[in-house]
């Protein structure tokens, strides 16, 4: 599918130079950039404490476990940021 976008001249020059160094087309660079952007947006990012806890094969005591209240607050803040960004679009 074809579509058209406007890029400022300096950005277009950077895109052309980058595409040339990669020996690909503008479309190839843009296609890969969009693919990577969408993949990053789709990732569920968990707080480090929770990831560490989920990887732990053995049960840990409550004292050693993650602070779920802090994790919940962090995830809610991230959700509010994403919602605000989507609302601005």
Confidence of residue 70 (pLDDT cuts 50, 70, 90): confident
Domain boundary assignment for the chain:
8-43, 44-89
Confidence of residue 14 (pLDDT cuts 50, 70, 90): very high
**Whose CA is closest to 1, among 22, 41, 30?**
30
Residue scoring higher pLDDT (78 or 15): 15
Block residue for tokens 């950005």:
11
């Amino acid at each position: 599918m074809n579509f058209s976008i406007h890029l400022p001249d300096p950005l277009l020059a950077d895109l052309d130079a980058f595409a040339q160094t990669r020996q690909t087309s503008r479309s190839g660079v843009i296609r890969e950039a969009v693919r990577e952007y969408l993949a990053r947006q789709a990732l569920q990012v968990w707080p480090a404490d929770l990831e560490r806890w989920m990887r732990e094969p053995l049960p840990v005591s409550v004292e050693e476990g993650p602070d779920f209240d802090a994790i919940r607050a962090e995830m809610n803040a991230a959700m509010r940021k994403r919602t605000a960004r989507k609302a601005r679009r």
